[in-house]
């Protein structure tokens, strides 16, 4: 068994399914896309406040984001930080998704303000496509485990793509388990004595 699969098996046995279901409706899909943009450089708790503001203003739709006054949009998403940049990016992304038929990773990466992590989050969670999302938790955990020491996004993603079955459901579950571990145990100051991966981890050896 490869180490990438072993980590997944241990985390799944410890935490069970995380229930990060794929989007089932057009509105939920666009809400996830908005979340992927707003979560850049901030915590999810701040994003949730901004999304709640957009819901209350009935703006969870591409045409509504396109039409809304940008000053109003900035104020609504202020809790997510960098609201001037993010309002502009939401407008760009809304125009793209309103007219897009088939979504490709290359097209997403050509949009202003959309990097690999944002693009792959959209593809995996909104469109159920098998692209593994590499975030700060993934980099931290797998460096500590001694499995990889690179920060290169594409190299890290290839590590997962080449060692796992290319399956969106598996990638979804694995990423959710990594987030769980990174938020609660493998923090900047880790709780190693509580970690289910302690027996295979090289951190502090």
- Residues with Cβ < 8 Å from 121, sequence gap 6 or more? 32, 36, 39, 133
Count, residues in the chain: 205
pLDDT at site 26: 83
pLDDT at site 205: 62
pLDDT at site 102: 82
- What is the full per-residue pLDDT of the chain (205 aa) written as tens digits? 689 999 999 999 999 999 887 777 888 899 999 999 999 999 889 999 999 999 999 999 999 999 999 999 999 999 999 999 999 999 999 999 988 778 899 999 999 999 999 999 999 999 999 999 999 999 999 999 999 999 999 999 999 999 999 999 999 999 999 999 999 999 999 999 999 999 999 987 6
Q: What's this model's pTM, rounded to 2 decimal places?
A: 0.92
Radius of gyration of the chain (CA): 18
pLDDT at site 74: 97
pLDDT at site 44: 87
Mean pLDDT of the chain: 94
CATH architecture, domain defined by 3-20+132-200: Orthogonal Bundle (1.10)
Does domain 26-126 bear CATH number 1.10.150.120? Answer: no
pLDDT at site 115: 96
- Domain ranges for the chain: 3-20+132-200, 26-126
pLDDT at site 165: 96
Nearest to 98 by CA among 62, 60, 58: 62
3-state secondary structure 154-166: HHHHHHHHHHCCC
- Residues with Cβ < 8 Å from 100, sequence gap 6 or more? 107
pLDDT tens digit string along 98-146? 887 788 999 999 999 999 999 999 999 999 999 999 999 999 999 999 9
């Amino acid at each position: 068994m490869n180490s990438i699969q072993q980590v997944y098996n241990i985390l799944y046995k410890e935490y069970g399914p995380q229930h990060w279901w794929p989007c089932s409706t057009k509105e939920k899909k666009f809400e996830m896309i908005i979340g992927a943009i707003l979560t850049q450089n901030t915590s999810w708790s701040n994003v949730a406040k901004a999304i709640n503001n957009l819901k209350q203003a009935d703006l969870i739709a591409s045409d509504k984001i396109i039409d809304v006054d940008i000053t109003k949009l900035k104020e609504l998403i202020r809790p997510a930080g960098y609201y001037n940049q993010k309002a502009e990016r939401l407008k760009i992304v809304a125009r793209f998704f309103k007219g897009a038929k088939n979504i490709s990773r290359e097209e997403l990466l050509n949009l202003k303000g959309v990097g690999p992590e944002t693009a792959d989050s959209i593809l995996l969670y909104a469109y159920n496509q098998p692209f593994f999302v590499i975030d700060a938790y993934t980099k931290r955990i797998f460096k500590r485990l001694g499995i990889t020491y690179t920060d290169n996004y594409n190299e890290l993603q290839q590590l997962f793509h080449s060692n796992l079955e290319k399956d969106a459901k598996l990638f979804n579950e694995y990423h959710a388990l990594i987030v769980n571990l990174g938020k609660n145990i493998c923090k900047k100051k880790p709780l190693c004595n509580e970690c289910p991966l302690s027996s295979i981890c090289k951190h502090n050896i």
